[in-house]
Amino acid sequence: MIPPSTMNALILKHDGFAPVREGAAIDTLEPYLAYGALPVPKPGPGQVLIRVRMASVNPSDLYFIKGEYGQPRVKGQPAGFEGVGDVVGGHGLYARWLKGKRVAFVGGAGGSGAWAEYIVAPAATCVVVKPGMRDEDAAGHVVNPVTAWAMFDIVKESGSKSFVFTAAFSQLGKLMAGLARDNGYAMIAVIRKESQAQHLRDLGARHVLVSTDPDFDARFAALCKSETPRILLDAVAGQQSADLFMAMPNHARWIIYGRLATQAPSISEPGQFIFLDKKIEGFWLMKWFRQTSMIGKMRTLRQVQDRFIKGAWKTEVVATVRLGDAMEHLPAALRLGDGKVMIVP
């Protein structure tokens, strides 16, 4: 099949960063995106052209289109970081080997994006998807599952048999719950609504705390004693995260991988860095990709796919929106909550 010369896409309206931070909530896409036609991008050296089957909508996509992500927008390019599709062209040996194969890919920031009919991505970041894996699982197969796997490696390497996870009803939190249970680790999940607790327990979280519970602090303090968690995996980076970190035992590490909160957290007891050997650091999947060996990446990706194929992980999709309907329907679909929204061309 010869690709057409033009394609439809959700196109970024602005360059760079937003002057103010509002968070990921989106009522309308109009200020940020336009649906329209673009030339089909041409693969450069080491790149492949992929016909998109399905793209996922992650919180990082929403921060990005609003100009609140860690990478600048490029006006005129399609949005969308992640998806699954078929390789239809490309340059280089590996690209030619990939041709005709179904691949999961990560792209978008600064170039061609996934919320489009076609995307150009580096061949090296494409992952061939095993036949047993559904498109729904493959489309969100890299960002969340690989992040979960890499973060769980951090927990294992820390020597701690438990960890604290905030905003735990996210896709990532659900994936972590299963990994924790299956490997004998205690996940202490912090959520906002009691109604989410049972499902998260069913998925594998050993302890689920609701942040608005009046006994929250006392229950968390008791778990810090009984489970001695030393890793806090945190997508919020707000005051409650800081307070959890202060309440955790010595040698605790606060690992920030997202920033749902808009206010600045304050550190009530900086002496804990000195006398309790605590640390704050960050996690970013792009850094993990840069620093992990090719073999390490392949091993992780194979394990991630196998987990989906055998059903230990399953992507919970709440809505699938057509690319041409996204301007109208995506904001409402995102409000359905507690599951993933997909875009299909």
Q: Are 35 and 323 in contact (CB under 8 A)?
A: yes
Shortest separation between residue 258's beta carbon and a second copy, angstroms: 7
How far is Cα 87 from Cα 216, in angstroms, rounded to an integer? 50
Q: What single-letter amino acid sits at 174?
A: K
In angstroms, what is the C-alpha Rg of the chain? 20
| Under rule CB under 8 A, residue 320 binds a second copy | no
- State phi, psi for 135 to the nearest 5 degrees: -60, -40
Residue 265 φ/ψ, nearest 5 degrees: -75, 145
* 292 lies in the site for a second copy, by CB under 8 A: no
277 binds a second copy (CB under 8 A): yes
Instruction: Examine residue 287 and tell whether it contacts a second copy (CB under 8 A).
Output: yes
Site for a second copy in 40-69 (CB under 8 A): none
Q: Please pick, from the candidates 53, 181, 259, 307, the single residue that binds a second copy as defined by CB under 8 A.
A: 259
Nearer to a second copy among residue 86 and residue 243 (C-beta) = 243
Scanning 119-127, 138-146, 189-197, 259-267 for contacts with a second copy by CB under 8 A, the matching segment is: 259-267
- Residue 110 CA to residue 128 CA, distance in Å, equals 23
Buried b (16+ CB within 10 A) or exposed e, 235-256: bbbbebbbbbbbebeeebbbbb
Are 145 and 211 within 8 A, CB to CB? no
What tokens does 58 get?
């992650």
Contact between 250 and a second copy by CB under 8 A: the answer reads: no
Stretch near a second copy under the rule CB under 8 A, chosen from 140-148, 275-283, 296-304, 327-335: 275-283
Give yes or no for residue 180 binding a second copy (CB under 8 A): no
Q: State yes or no: residue 16 binds a second copy (CB under 8 A).
A: no
140 touches 171 (CB < 8 A):
yes
Shortest gap between Cβ of 147 and a second copy (angstroms)? 11
Nearest of 172, 185, 182, 168 to residue 146 by alpha carbon: 172
List the one residue from 207, 258, 342, 343 that touches a second copy (CB under 8 A): 258
**Residues touching a second copy, count (CB under 8 A):** 30
**CA distances (Å), origin 247, targets 30, 211, 231, 269, 283:** 43, 14, 12, 10, 21
CA pair distance 294, 126, nearest whole angstrom: 12
Interacting residue with a second copy among 5, 100, 275, 311 (CB under 8 A): 275
- Taking CB under 8 A as the criterion, the residue among 83, 178, 204, 265 binding a second copy is 265
Residue 272 touching a second copy (CB under 8 A):
yes
Asked if 158 is part of the footprint of a second copy (rule: CB under 8 A), the reply reads no
Alpha carbon distance 285, 291 (integer Å): 10
Q: Rule CB under 8 A: which of 215-244 touch a second copy?
A: 237
Binding string, 183-222, against a second copy, x = CB under 8 A? ----------------------------------------
Under the binding rule (CB under 8 A), the answer on residue 270 touching a second copy is: yes
Angle at 343 between CA 305 and CA 121, to 5 degrees: 60
Q: Which residues pair with 208 in a beta bridge?
A: 189
Q: Which residues 66-85 are close enough to bind a second copy by CB under 8 A?
A: 70-71
Residues forming the site for a second copy (CB under 8 A):
70-71, 237, 256-259, 261, 264-284, 287
